[in-house]
């Protein structure tokens, strides 16, 4: 690979990794009313956790919804319309999690107003509001250009993929992943690569699948076979 | 090979590298674990590996054990049951023994504990040590290994202020956690893949165990290896076996457990199980001696399918153990079993003996799928329930406490 000829970024892409630890908040909900009370009072990192954090936990259950709240409304309260509405919410559309919290609450409130059943239906299993703390490591690896990235991505840990592709959406001001933000500073036209990265939906697959898709995008950009 | 290389071979080099990176943050800091026994029980089993592994990573980790007399253990056994929901009242005489024992042990350990950067107190037995260490400089963490979701109130009223004084607590499941006014971490338990219960066994040892219990290698075998406890529903397992046997002639069942001899309730359950088994020569009800880990290991490996048909369960490490051995598991749809068994992926969750029988038939019919589930189950445990993950989470939460429990901590 003609890595030497590739355009270099300034600064280079810093490969980080992370580990996440889960905390109980002690807030539980058995009814939609209790779920609303929880959404209103838990810390913003709890909202974050229930949208993003579980991606790193890994599970065999198919992610039919992109957040735990929608999943619980569907499978524990058995109320599909609200589950679908909650699942449409994308945290990266919001300036901050407080704005997302308001929309979550409003959607639930509207459903509660519109359905007599939701005022009394009680789940056998509670929704446990969790939150998390994240420890971020600098791995010491630096990437100078997109061609190098095509080589490196297949070897990233899943938690590194989580940090750069999922967690980034909360850290970056415009809700993008770290790769696209970094490409802004790399000489050359990366529009097609950025569009392809933007088209990778991290919510419904496993992180190793996301890694494969990112690697394929960089490989295509570098004109090398996908890993 | 060093201990750390042994674990790298099983858990993966990447996991070990992460541990090394975390451990670097603990240079010059001491971590002291305290529990009430050096041998026997899951906590001692884990600490026996966790502490040496921490030390190999360069962490100054130590393990202290408190000692007491009969009345102390009588009290802590009653506390254990009460905190798990049994309506057990503890007389003042036993509370006094509990307090005196903690005070006496604090006298012996005070200097080491007050100087430590982290003190991790396991379960309620040594929980009062904190009160006797007023000049402690480090962070104190209460690690609760039991299900305290519905504690007997009078005992919890005593314990709650005791454990609330800690800097943080750790529970095995979110459902067990209480709001104690400090960070409440959720760290599921783990298994040691290199220990007697979960390490690889030579074929001749498996053959010997099979012969010892009169198991026919030519016929299918299912097993539930668990305490004789009504919540484990061993009689339900026999019902499931009978419903299945009509479709799987020659099927053999092993129900193995320990501890019934010194547990009146366990003995009664064992009697019920023997009555339910009747004179069926293919039902093997085995009362194993305590800590007969290699036999447990062998039986789990000999079984085609492992059951844990609990109606109520804490975490269910027996499920983890069977999954680690590449067995699909049929488990009760309850507690921590839900974190481990995923239908069609690592086994099946069931609610009735009929459900268990249905899934047994399914797995016997789909042999290749059953084998695939076993492979997936082992990988799932490798990623989530090995001791290396537990150590990583302990180190992560300790780091978080060092940084005032901030949501985001950057190191390295």
- Which tens digits make up the pLDDT trace of B200-219? 999 999 999 999 999 999 99
- Biggest CA-to-CA distance, chain A: 66
Given a cut of 50, whether residue A2 has pLDDT beyond it is no
Q: Give the chain B residue whose CA is nearest to the CA of A136.
A: B410
Give CA–CA dist A138/A76, Å, rounded. Answer: 40
Average pLDDT over every residue of B313-317:
87
Query: Which among B14, B342, B411 is the nearest to A135, CB-wise?
Result: B411
* The pLDDT value given to residue B167: 97
Q: Is the pLDDT of residue A212 over 80?
A: yes
- DSSP 8-state secondary structure symbol assigned to residue B246: T
Asked if B383 has any chain A CB less than 8 Å from its own CB, the reply is yes
Asked if pLDDT for residue A5 goes beyond 60, the answer is no
Look at residue A118 in the predicted model and tell me its pLDDT.
87
Q: What residues have CB less than 8 Å from B218, skipping those under 6 apart?
A: none
Question: Under an 8 A CB cutoff, do B175 and A126 touch?
Answer: yes
Kindly state the percentage of chain B with pLDDT values over 70. 98
Furthest C-alpha separation in chain B: 68
| Interface contact B184-A135, CB threshold 8 A | no
More confident site: A53 or A121: A121
pLDDT at A4 over 90: no
Mean pLDDT, range A72-98, rounded to an integer:
91
Q: What is the mean pLDDT of residues B355-363?
A: 98
**A60/A189: higher pLDDT:** A189
Supply the pLDDT for residue A7: 56
Cβ within 8 Å, pair A138-B410: yes
Mean pLDDT for chain B overall: 93
- Specify which residues B343 forms β-bridges with: B347
Encoded tokens for B212: 């010892």
Domain residue ranges in chain A: 19-131, 141-222
Residue B383: what pLDDT? 86
Q: What is the mean pLDDT of residues B88-94?
A: 94
Q: Does residue A1 carry a pLDDT above 50?
A: no
pLDDT of amino acid A204: 75
CB contact at 8 A, B308 and B316: yes
Find all residues with CB under 8 Å of A133, minimum gap 6, and list them.
A20, A21, A23, A45, B396, B397, B400, B405, B406, B407, B408, B409
Chain A residues touching residue B410 (CB < 8 angstroms): 135-136, 138
In this predicted structure, what is the pLDDT of residue A61? 60
- The count of residues in chain B is 412
Rg, C-alpha atoms of chain A: 20
pLDDT in tens, A25-40: 999 999 999 999 999 9
Please report the number of interchain residue pairs, chain A to chain B, with beta-carbon separation below 8 angstroms.
82
Q: Model ipTM?
A: 0.85
Phi-psi region of A81 (alpha: psi -120 to 50; beta: other; left: phi over 0): alpha
pLDDT band (50, 70, 90) for residue A60: low
Distance CA A106, CA A127 (A): 19
Residue B109: which residues within 8 A CB-CB, separation 6 or more?
B34, B64, B66, B129
Ordered domains of chain B (ranges, CATH)? 3-190+386-402 (3.40.50.2000), 203-384 (3.40.50.2000)
Q: What is the pLDDT of residue A63?
A: 65
Q: Does B153 touch chain A (CB under 8 A)?
A: no
pLDDT at residue B249 above 90? yes
The model's confidence at residue B41, banded by pLDDT at 50, 70 and 90, is confident
Q: Are B191 and B198 in contact (CB under 8 A)?
A: yes
Judged by CB atoms closer than 8 Å, whether chains meet at A134 and B397 is answered as: no
Asked if B160 has any chain A CB less than 8 Å from its own CB, the reply is: no
**Residue linked to tokens 């901590």:** B409
State how beta strands B221-225 and B252-258 pair: parallel
The model's pTM: 0.88
Residues from A contacting B (CB-CB < 8 Å) are 17, 19-26, 45, 58-61, 126, 128, 130-140, 157
The residues, ordered by sequence, that sit 6+ positions from B17 with a Cβ below 8 Å of its Cβ are none
| Predicted local distance difference test score (pLDDT) of residue A3 | 38
Q: Where are the beta strands (DSSP E) in B90-171?
A: 118-122, 139-143, 168-171
Q: How far is A157 from chain B (nearest CA, A)?
A: 8
């Amino acid at each position: 690979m003609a890595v030497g000829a590739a355009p270099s970024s300034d600064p280079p892409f810093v490969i980080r990794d992370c580990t996440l630890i889960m905390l109980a908040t002690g807030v539980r909900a058995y009814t939609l009313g209790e779920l609303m009370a929880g959404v209103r009072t838990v810390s913003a990192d709890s909202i974050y956790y229930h949208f993003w954090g579980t991606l790193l936990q890994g599970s065999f259950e198919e992610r039919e919804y992109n957040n735990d709240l929608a999943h619980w409304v569907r499978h524990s309260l058995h109320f599909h319309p609200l589950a679908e509405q909650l699942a449409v919410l994308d945290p990266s559309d919001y300036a901050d999690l407080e704005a997302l919290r308001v929309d979550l609450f409003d959607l639930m409130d509207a459903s509660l107003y519109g359905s007599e059943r939701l005022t009394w239906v009680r789940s056998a299993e509670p929704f446990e509001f969790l939150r998390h703390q994240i420890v971020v490591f600098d791995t010491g690896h630096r990437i100078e250009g997109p061609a190098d990235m095509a080589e490196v991505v297949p070897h990233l840990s899943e938690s590194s993929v989580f940090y750069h592709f999922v967690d980034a959406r909360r850290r970056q001001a415009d809700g993008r992943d770290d790769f696209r933000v970094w490409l802004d500073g790399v000489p050359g036209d990366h529009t097609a690569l950025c569009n392809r990265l933007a088209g990778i939906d991290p919510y419904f697959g496993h992180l190793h699948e996301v890694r494969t898709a990112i690697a394929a995008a960089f490989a295509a950009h570098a004109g090398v076979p996908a890993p | 090979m060093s201990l750390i290389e042994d674990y790298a071979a099983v858990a993966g080099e990447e996991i070990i590298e992460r541990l090394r990176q975390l451990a670097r943050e603990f240079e010059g800091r001491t971590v002291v674990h305290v529990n009430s026994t050096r041998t026997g029980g899951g906590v001692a089993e884990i600490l026996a590996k966790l502490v040496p592994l921490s030390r190999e990573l360069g962490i100054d980790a130590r393990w202290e054990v408190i000692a007491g007399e009969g009345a102390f253990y009588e009290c802590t056994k009653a506390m254990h049951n009460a905190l798990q929901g049994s309506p057990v009242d503890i007389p003042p005489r036993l509370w006094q023994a509990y307090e005196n024992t903690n005070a006496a042990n604090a006298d012996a350990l005070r200097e080491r504990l007050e100087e430590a950067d982290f003190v991790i107190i396991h379960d309620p037995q040594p929980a009062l040590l904190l009160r006797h260490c007023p000049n402690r400089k480090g962070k104190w963490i209460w690690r609760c290994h039991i299900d305290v979701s519905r504690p007997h109130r009078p005992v919890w009223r005593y314990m709650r202020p005791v454990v609330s004084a800690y800097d943080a607590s750790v529970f095995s499941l979110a459902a067990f956690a209480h709001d104690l006014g400090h960070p409440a971490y959720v760290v599921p338990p783990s298994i040691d893949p290199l220990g007697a219960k979960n390490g690889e066994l030579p074929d001749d040892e498996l053959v010997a165990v099979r012969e010892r219990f009169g198991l026919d290698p030519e016929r299918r075998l299912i097993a539930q290896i668990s305490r004789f406890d009504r919540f484990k529903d061993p009689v339900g397992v026999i019902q499931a076996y009978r419903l299945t046997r009509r479709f799987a002639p020659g099927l053999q069942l092993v129900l193995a457990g320990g501890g019934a001899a010194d547990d009146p309730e366990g003995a009664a359950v064992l009697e019920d199980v023997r009555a339910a088994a009747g004179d069926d020569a293919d039902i093997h009800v085995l009362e194993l001696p305590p800590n007969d880990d290699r036999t447990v290991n062998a039986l789990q490996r000999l079984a085609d399918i492992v059951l844990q048909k609990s109606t109520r369960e804490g975490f269910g490490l027996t499920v983890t153990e069977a999954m680690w051995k590449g067995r699909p598991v049929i488990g009760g749809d309850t507690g921590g079993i839900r974190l481990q068994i995923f239908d069609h992926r690592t086994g099946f969750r069931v609610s009735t003996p009929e459900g268990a029988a249905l899934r047994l038939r399914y797995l016997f019919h789909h042999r290749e799928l059953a084998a695939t589930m076993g492979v997936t189950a082992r990988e799932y445990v490798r990623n989530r329930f090995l001791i290396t993950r537990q150590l990583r989470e302990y180190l992560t939460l300790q780091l978080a406490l060092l940084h005032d429990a901030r949501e985001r901590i950057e190191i390295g």
